[in-house]
Amino acid sequence: MNKPMKAALLSGLVFPGVGQVYLKRYARGLIMMLLSMVLLIVIVVKVLAAALEAVGTLPVSGQPDMSAISNIAASSSAKIIGGLGLLFYPLLACWIVSIIDAYRAGKDGKD
């Protein structure tokens, strides 16, 4: 497998920026990694906050009401999915840019 393809696959399948690090483009790789990590951390924090909020609204009775739990889960998951679109698309864009950049940097042959 040639170097540009290996770098693109590393950035696409492992994590954004790994292909750049493989090509010894450390600054570019670190920028891609940090940006992706920040976006992933924000997504995880938002999902956890929404999950804790949903758990907090569960009734505290002796016997669990499955229909109430189902309704709370459905409403909170819809809210989570609606709010994450603004974070998911930049993460996807960062991942795609990282793949393309790794492939082009490998094609340039500048190590």
Domain count, the chain: 1
Greatest alpha-carbon pair distance for the chain in Å reads 67
DSSP secondary structure code for residue 57 in this structure: T
Residues of the domain holding 97: 3-108
- The tens digit of pLDDT for each residue in 94-105 reads 999 999 999 999
pTM score, whole prediction: 0.78
- Minimum mean pLDDT range among 5-19, 47-61, 85-99: 47-61
- Sign of torsion, CA 70 73 79 85? negative
Q: Residues with Cβ < 8 Å from 73, sequence gap 6 or more?
A: 54
